Structure 1
Amino acid sequence: MSSCSGPEHAKVVVVGSGFAGLAAAARLVEAGFENVLVLEAKERVGGRMHTIKPFSENVIEVGANWIHGQKGNPLFKIAKEENLLSKGTSACSETAEDYFFKENGKQVSTKVVDKVSSYFSKLTDKASDDELKRKHRKLTLGAYLDVVFGECSLAATEDGQQVFEWCKRNECTDEACSSLYEVSASQNSNYTALKGEFFNTLGPGGYRAVLDVLLKDLPSGTVKCNAPVKSIQWDLDKKGSCEDEMYPVKVVCENGQSFDADHVIVTVSLGVLKGKATTMFEPSLPEEKLSAIENLGFGIVDKIFLFFEKRFWPDDCAGVQLVWKEGPENKDVYESLSEGETWKKTWFKKITGFDAVARHPTALCGWITGREALYMENLQDSEIRDICVRLLRSFTGWSVPEVSKTLITRWGSDSHVRGSYTFIPEGVDGVKAHKALASPLPPEDKCRGRKHLQVLFAGEATHDKFYTTTHGAYLTGVREAERLISYYAD
């Protein structure tokens, strides 16, 4: 069973059991690979996808929430074929709308919200236009939006400016960043949005039901949980011939257990690579790959679930959105808080609002990103809960009851993930970085024959068009599986 054997004998170790890892394993097994092992650091499969039932028979999505886009989306296809999609696209009725409240308790008119939100969407779409890209190439996404919005009549009103700040704060959730003033404007066009409904809500089984479709085709014992990887020793075949070494790669777990392999597919998050890349691989990763890991951004998006005994918001309310007079995505406020730790006193201002939760009629979910999210993770649940209730009461003026149950995510503090998903910082060539991260080891110009497929890389951060998404992660897993399949077909 050497690296010269066929696919039925090739020993493949996949590191990580998120969508990338399980997609790779499922495709390899389908193609006839019989020695596939998936090592998962956590006690569960799924990675940044985590569906649970903490308080009732209904699911809560702690991680990935929606399937983004339809046309060309493999996860949407799976969910549709397996009848796993929800009949609706949101947690509320089709007529429900978000209520936008200012901190003085007044509600912003729907007309203003709709105009600003619609224009904001056009601006973020236009960030991919070649002419605008050239004109604003050196600006951050936040600065670009400020310049163009400032030329619009909507910017002349206080409500317009404050809703615009909310839009930028909300966009931080899509980017998983601390601020749009740290995200590249010119690189915004790299991401490709698939056509069709953007927020496709899953049915009663949640995202776990989609994951189970992949798991059901894997032989028993394929996935080994509670097996965090300490090191990946590659290029063990020093003489460059496949007869000289039984297996060119060795994977060593933190408990000392080791696994020899012909090929290893690494699907850990960019956050884990940022923390461990310099020590996990022996020999060290090429400089180009290390630079990509360092330069790409990996942000945090956390959720604050508040469960109440009774619903206190109107039936036509899809969520309560918080509009600040001086929010953190206001340019002057951002610049004043860019240094020092004063921002910690107002970390809660980064919460965009509280949305209704699918299948939980008395629950709301708050969203928070970036450094404020990481700071929040160090606070007690009770303190976070109390602050959120105060915000709801002061902004709406409604009679908000006490929270009966709380669930708060802490993705930044999770040592096996260290964040949520990737973004492109100012001054970084995203396409180049994504492709460098995706390239197999050893590098093409250094090896001969089969040797270049010792270590392969997958995960949303390795896709130059679908980074941040579950379908991006899935597609990269399939990509690396196909790389190995083609390798043995040659």
Structure 2
Amino acid sequence: MWFPSYFTLFLLHYCVVGEEKHPSVIIVGAGASGIAAATKLLENSFTNITILEAEDRIGGRIHSVKFAEGLVDLGAEHCYGRKENAVYELAKDYDVLEEFDFSFENNIYCSDGSKLNSSISQDLNKIIFELFEKKYEGNETSKSTGDVFKERFNSSILPKYEGDKKNVQILKEALKFSDGQISLFNGASSWSDVSAKTDIITNNDAFVWKGVGFKTIINILMKSYPDSKNKLDIDDKIHLKKKVQKISWDQNQSVSVLTADNTTYTADYVIFTPSAGVLKKHQDTLFEPKLPSEKKNAIENTGYGSITKLFVTYSTKWWKDDDKLFSFFWTGEDTNLVNFGEGLTKKKMSWITQIRELIKVHHNPNVWSVWISGHKLSEIENLPDETLKNGVNYAVKKFLGETRNVTDVTKILKSTWTIDENFLGGTSYVKTGAYKSDESIQDKLAEPVTNAAGKARLLFAGEATHSTLYASVQGAIESGHREAKRIIEFYVKSKQ
């Protein structure tokens, strides 16, 4: 009888040592960065992981849902670039991506129903995409994207049309159009908010998902795609509807996390991945003790905004086969609230003047996405669906009704990132005046917080913490991998 008892003691000892071998980790948020961190830890045999997610689903700002005859992406939708792109590298071998040209050159329509002069369209497209790719080599760090656009516009475009009264009048409206496009690209309220100087890496190549939705990247990370039999042992580690209320991080040996249902979780490390919007609103109540001043300054100096997307269906096809994208150029008299009076207005301008683009949804017949940027997105997202449908009908017919027999929207689905308390927006950017050549706001945001014993127990991930790939899923994934590797390195050093 002595042998089984000895063997049992041996197994118990082995299991305890095994548990102590790797630290415990709580990951707050099951978006791209949280799942990336968890899967990287699991792949390195760190299995004592708990993932706390406030929503009733995983994915975070990746949210692919069924709509009409296929999927639509309410959040992250497009994959940009082959290089420096974790999303592309993970997905490239599975035939789930296809290239798409997002240039609006020669696809800009005016609100009087005409198509914008092709020469002006090309000129605007050139400058806007130069700034989208952050091609500003000047040393002035206080300039906004709007400042630099106006400089290039005044020096390279206006002189070409001097004396051309018709086009000079149109060019007066071009600044408003360009502001809308740049605010759309950056998720900001205005181009004045966005720094012209950043360290971001951008790529010309753009890809859309071939009917499978951006959620596929989450499945690839978890190794459940393409074969679910290979899925990592992660499901039982994810706890949904667990909104975090308090993180106590200055304890000597551990960090404790309190959720809204009054459950307390304790671990050696916490990786915090929610949005910069959540950090901005809740930093003073979420962390105990409050975060150091350097971290608070980084949070406050991080730009954070959103766009709103509407997905609409039509019972009858009114577009041509090669129609993929329309950009809307609102002229002065049409920005006033004249014929459309439903919903929000600002300075006599209807919310529909913030509709920037209409884009065909790939692999989903009869579905288009309507892209909205600018001010008061939370009010727009709170508008009734019927008002939104009427607004889209009015705008699309106004711009395209002269050349196409536009029919009415039959169904509509809207994103609500701005008003969702678990996100409070969609994407980060570098605020005007916040850029420093020797000190990245994103790097400051990414720095772990050390407790009184000098131990880094509270770590930060998410797209806003990546200095060169912020505002992207690839940035979010890389940040999750970064923090997982940090914990692994801490462990290796502790054993040396």
TM-score (norm 2): 0.85
Supply the distance in 2 between the matched residues of 1:84 and 1:265 (Cα, whole angstroms).
30
> Is the aligned partner of 1:402 residue 2:408?
yes
Letter in 2 for 1:28: L
Supply the distance in 2 between the matched residues of 1:425 and 1:17 (Cα, whole angstroms).
27
Provide Cα deviations, 1:4-35, integer angstroms capped at 9, x if missing partner.
Answer: 99774411000001110000000011111120
Deviation of 1:363 after TM superposition, in Å, equals: 1.9
Provide Cα deviations, 1:39-86, integer angstroms capped at 9, x if missing partner.
Answer: 110000000000111322x11111001111111311101111233223
Deviation of 1:477 after TM superposition, in Å, equals: 0.3
Supply the distance in 2 between the matched residues of 1:180 and 1:416 (Cα, whole angstroms).
26
Q: Secondary structure at the match of 1:298?
A: strand
Q: 1:319 aligns with which of 315, 318, 325?
A: 325
Deviation of 1:447 after TM superposition, in Å, equals: 4.1
Corresponding residue for residue 209 of structure 1: 216
Q: Secondary structure at the match of 1:48?
A: coil
Q: 2:482 aligns with which of 466, 472, 479?
A: 479
Supply the distance in 2 between the matched residues of 1:151 and 1:319 (Cα, whole angstroms).
29
Deviation of 1:274 after TM superposition, in Å, equals: 1.0
Supply the distance in 2 between the matched residues of 1:272 and 1:400 (Cα, whole angstroms).
40
Letter in 2 for 1:89: F
Q: 2:308 aligns with which of 283, 296, 302?
A: 302
Cα distance 1:126–1:176, how it changes in 2: closer, same or farther (>3 A)? closer
Q: 2:282 aligns with which of 257, 265, 276?
A: 276
Q: 1:71 aligns with which of 83, 87, 90?
A: 83
Corresponding residue for residue 243 of structure 1: none
Corresponding residue for residue 368 of structure 1: 372
Contact preservation (8 Å) 1:7, 1:488: no
Deviates further, 111-120 or 280-289: 111-120
Contact preservation (8 Å) 1:99, 1:318: no
Corresponding residue for residue 194 of structure 2: 183
> Is the aligned partner of 1:59 residue 2:71?
yes
Q: Identity across aligned pairs (percent)?
A: 28
Deviates further, 371-380 or 257-266: 371-380
> Is the aligned partner of 1:166 residue 2:174?
no
Letter in 2 for 1:487: F
Letter in 2 for 1:11: S
Supply the distance in 1 between the matched residues of 2:66 and 2:106 (Cα, whole angstroms).
26
Q: Secondary structure at the match of 1:352?
A: strand
Contact preservation (8 Å) 2:132, 2:185: no
Corresponding residue for residue 26 of structure 1: 39
Letter in 2 for 1:102: C
Q: 1:11 aligns with which of 24, 38, 43?
A: 24
Supply the distance in 2 between the matched residues of 1:151 and 1:476 (Cα, whole angstroms).
40
Cα distance 1:415–1:125, how it changes in 2: closer, same or farther (>3 A)? closer
Cα distance 1:126–1:203, how it changes in 2: closer, same or farther (>3 A)? closer
Letter in 2 for 1:168: D
Corresponding residue for residue 338 of structure 1: none
Supply the distance in 2 between the matched residues of 1:167 and 1:328 (Cα, whole angstroms).
17
Contact preservation (8 Å) 1:438, 1:456: yes
Deviation of 1:474 after TM superposition, in Å, equals: 0.3
Cα distance 1:104–1:219, how it changes in 2: closer, same or farther (>3 A)? closer
Computed over aligned residues only, the root mean square deviation of the Cα atoms, in angstroms, reads 2.6
Contact preservation (8 Å) 1:52, 1:62: yes
Letter in 2 for 1:78: L
Q: Secondary structure at the match of 2:328?
A: strand
Deviation of 1:371 after TM superposition, in Å, equals: 2.2
Deviates further, 375-384 or 119-128: 119-128
- Count matched residues: 451
Deviation of 1:121 after TM superposition, in Å, equals: 2.5
Structure 1's unaligned 5+ residue stretches are 238-246, 330-340
Contact preservation (8 Å) 1:165, 1:327: no
Deviation of 1:419 after TM superposition, in Å, equals: 0.2
Deviation of 1:342 after TM superposition, in Å, equals: 3.2
Contact preservation (8 Å) 2:62, 2:215: yes
Corresponding residue for residue 114 of structure 2: 106
Deviation of 1:140 after TM superposition, in Å, equals: 1.8
Deviation of 1:120 after TM superposition, in Å, equals: 3.3
Cα distance 1:230–1:123, how it changes in 2: closer, same or farther (>3 A)? closer
Q: 2:260 aligns with which of 254, 261, 269?
A: 254
Corresponding residue for residue 192 of structure 1: 201
Corresponding residue for residue 251 of structure 2: 236
Q: 1:420 aligns with which of 421, 426, 435?
A: 426
Q: Secondary structure at the match of 2:350?
A: helix
Contact preservation (8 Å) 1:178, 1:371: yes
Contact preservation (8 Å) 1:90, 1:201: no
Letter in 2 for 1:149: F
Q: 1:348 aligns with which of 349, 352, 358?
A: 352
> Is the aligned partner of 1:80 residue 2:80?
no
Contact preservation (8 Å) 2:68, 2:364: no
Deviation of 1:113 after TM superposition, in Å, equals: 1.3
Which structure: larger Rg?
A: 2
Letter in 2 for 1:101: Y
Q: Secondary structure at the match of 1:133?
A: coil
1:30-49 equivalences in 2 (<5 Å): 30-49=43-62
Provide Cα deviations, 1:216-272, integer angstroms capped at 9, x if missing partner.
Answer: 3233301111111111111222xxxxxxxxx52111100001111000000011011
Deviation of 1:164 after TM superposition, in Å, equals: 5.1
Cα distance 1:315–1:71, how it changes in 2: closer, same or farther (>3 A)? same
Supply the distance in 2 between the matched residues of 1:374 and 1:12 (Cα, whole angstroms).
35
Deviation of 1:343 after TM superposition, in Å, equals: 3.9
Supply the distance in 1 between the matched residues of 2:234 and 2:111 (Cα, whole angstroms).
55
Cα distance 1:427–1:267, how it changes in 2: closer, same or farther (>3 A)? same
Q: 1:488 aligns with which of 478, 488, 491?
A: 491
Contact preservation (8 Å) 1:127, 1:133: no
Supply the distance in 1 between the matched residues of 2:128 and 2:118 (Cα, whole angstroms).
15
Q: 1:117 aligns with which of 108, 116, 125?
A: 125
1:437-448 equivalences in 2 (<5 Å): 437-442=445-450, 447-448=453-454
Letter in 2 for 1:319: L
Q: Secondary structure at the match of 1:415?
A: coil
Deviates further, 200-209 or 383-392: 200-209
